[in-house]
Amino acid sequence: MGNTRSILLVGVGGQGTILASKILSTGLVEAGYDVKMSEIHGMAQRGGSVSTQVRFGDEVYSPIIGKGAADILVSFETMEALRWLDYLKPDGKVVVNDYKIPSAPILMGKADYPEGVIEAIKEKADTWVVDAANIAMELGNAKVMNIVLLGALVKAMDLTDIDWEQVIRNNVKEKFADINVKAFQRGMEAIELARA
C-alpha cells in the first residue's frame, strides 16, 4: 500500500533469478524497508517460465501482484518480457536482457522465436536493453548474467544508495565475489550508457 514498489523478475528456470532476487531483497531489508518476495519452485523450474516478485516499502501486505501493478519488469530472457508485459504499470519501466532462450516448441521447429520483440516492447514502455550475456562472457563467466541484470535493475530503480557490493559479498561464495561485484557494476553502467 501507499509507497510500496513492486519489482517483477522473470526468466527461464536455471537463469539465477532466485539468487538475484535474494540479493535484491537482502539489500532492501538492510536499507530499512519492509520487504516481501515471492518465488515459485518445483515443476516450473525445469526449463519453464519462472517469475519472482519483490515488493518493498514502509509496510508491505501482499507478497504478489497481479496485472498492471509492477513498477519495473526485469526480464532475463527476451521473449519472457513480452509474456509478462501486462503485469507492468502503464508507466512502468522494462529492463530486458538481449538474450534468447528458445523454448521447447521452438527447439523442435514447431514454432518460431518471435521477431522484433525488443522493438515491440520499446513501443509500449520505457525500456532499457542490456546485453548481459556478452558482459558476463567478457567478465569470464556466463553465469553472472543474473548479477549484471541486478546492477541494471538497481540503477534503473535509483536504488544506488544501498551498499550493494557488501550485500553481494555476503551472499555469494568468496571465490566468486569479485566477479559478481564487477558484473553488478557493469550492469549499472549499461543503464548509464543507455541513458547518455
Partner 1 sequence: MKKLLTGNEAVALGAYEAGVHFASAYPGTPSTEILENIANYDEIISEWAPNEKVALEAALGASLAGARSLAAMKHVGLNVAADPFFTIGYTGVNGGMVLITADDPGLHSSQNEQDNRYYARHAKVAMVEPSNSQEAKDMVIKAMEISEQFDTLVLMRMTTRICHSKSLVEVGERKEVEIKPYKKDIQKYYVAPAVAKELHVKVEERLKRLEEFSNETDLNYVIWNTDKIGVISSGVAFEYAREVFGDKASYLKLGFTHPLPMKKIKEFAEKVETLYVVEELEPYIEEQIKAQGIKCIGKDKIPNIWELNPEIVAASLLEEKPETIEVDSSKVVNRPPTLCAGCPHRGFFYALSKKKNVMISGDIGCYTLGGAAPLNAMDTTICMGASISLGHGASKVFKKYNKDMKVVSVIGDSTFFHTGVNSLMDVVYNKSNIVTCILDNRVTSMTGQQDNPGTGYTLQGEVTEMVNIADLVKAIGIKHVRTVNPLKLDELEEAFDWAFALDEPSVIITRWPCALKKLSEADKKEFELVAGKCEVDEEKCIGCRKCVNTGCPAIYFDKTKRKSIIDKVQCIGCELCMQVCPTKAIIKVGE
Could you list the residues that contact partner 1 (CB under 8 A)? 1, 12-13, 25-26, 29, 34-49, 60-69, 79-80, 82-83, 85-90, 102-109, 111-114, 117, 120, 124-125, 142
Find the shortest distance in angstroms from Cβ 77 to partner 1: 9
Cβ proximity to partner 1, 63 vs 192, nearer residue: 63
Residue type (1 letter), 131 = D
Find the shortest distance in angstroms from Cβ 117 to partner 1: 7
C-alpha 126/C-alpha 128 separation (Å) is: 7
User: Nearest-CA neighbor of 103 among 20, 7, 14?
Assistant: 14
Cβ proximity to partner 1, 87 vs 184, nearer residue: 87
Find the shortest distance in angstroms from Cβ 177 to partner 1: 20
Cβ proximity to partner 1, 117 vs 190, nearer residue: 117
User: Nearest-CA neighbor of 148 among 101, 192, 176, 190?
Assistant: 190
Contact 76, 153 (CB under 8 A): no
Contact 69, 61 (CB under 8 A): no
Find the shortest distance in angstroms from Cβ 159 to partner 1: 16
C-alpha 189/C-alpha 196 separation (Å) is: 10
Cβ proximity to partner 1, 147 vs 188, nearer residue: 147
Give 46's DSSP letter: T
Cβ proximity to partner 1, 111 vs 193, nearer residue: 111
Grid coordinates standing for 110? 514447431
Find the shortest distance in angstroms from Cβ 54 to partner 1: 9
